[in-house]
Amino acid sequence: MSTYTQTLYQIVFSTKYREKSLSKNNRIILFKYMSGLLSNKNCHVYRINGIEDHLHIITHIHPSIALSSLVRAIKVSSALFIKEQKLFSHFHSWQDGYGAFTYGIQDKDRLIEYVINQESHHKTKSFKEEYLDLLNEHGIVLDEKYFL
């Protein structure tokens, strides 16, 4: 029997200390690079978007891939790519942790729309407020000492 899964992940992580270093003009290059990296790992990417200090990835992860290994690969590889390509002059690194939230396929369109609208969404809500909302939505209690 073959393995079948149908779980969507929303992966969220920010720049180190949430520095606003991801300038708009080169973000699309970064997102295309990340999309290619995910595709090469047999993951289906639905949408990647973000703003100056964080990004969201909506993807299906291939069952043979461990989430933590995937996120580590995305961060390490993209940080090197950013520095080699000189995409963002003020970028230093990604934050240590990440958030990964699971959804059913019925949430796909809503998630994609949410990620597409990151810029307008963050005109009224900070990354911290958004992230706390995601944690609350998924029943996760945040220990504030880890939210640096």
Confidence band of 145 (pLDDT split at 50, 70, 90): low
Residues belonging to the chain: 148
Task: Write down the architecture of domain 7-146 according to CATH.
Answer: 2-Layer Sandwich (3.30)
- Cα–Cα distance between 26 and 22 in angstroms, integer? 8
pLDDT tens-digit series, residues 47-57: 999 999 999 99
Q: What ranges do the domains of the chain cover?
A: 7-146
Q: Inform me whether the pLDDT recorded for 146 exceeds 70.
A: no
Q: What is the pTM of this model?
A: 0.91
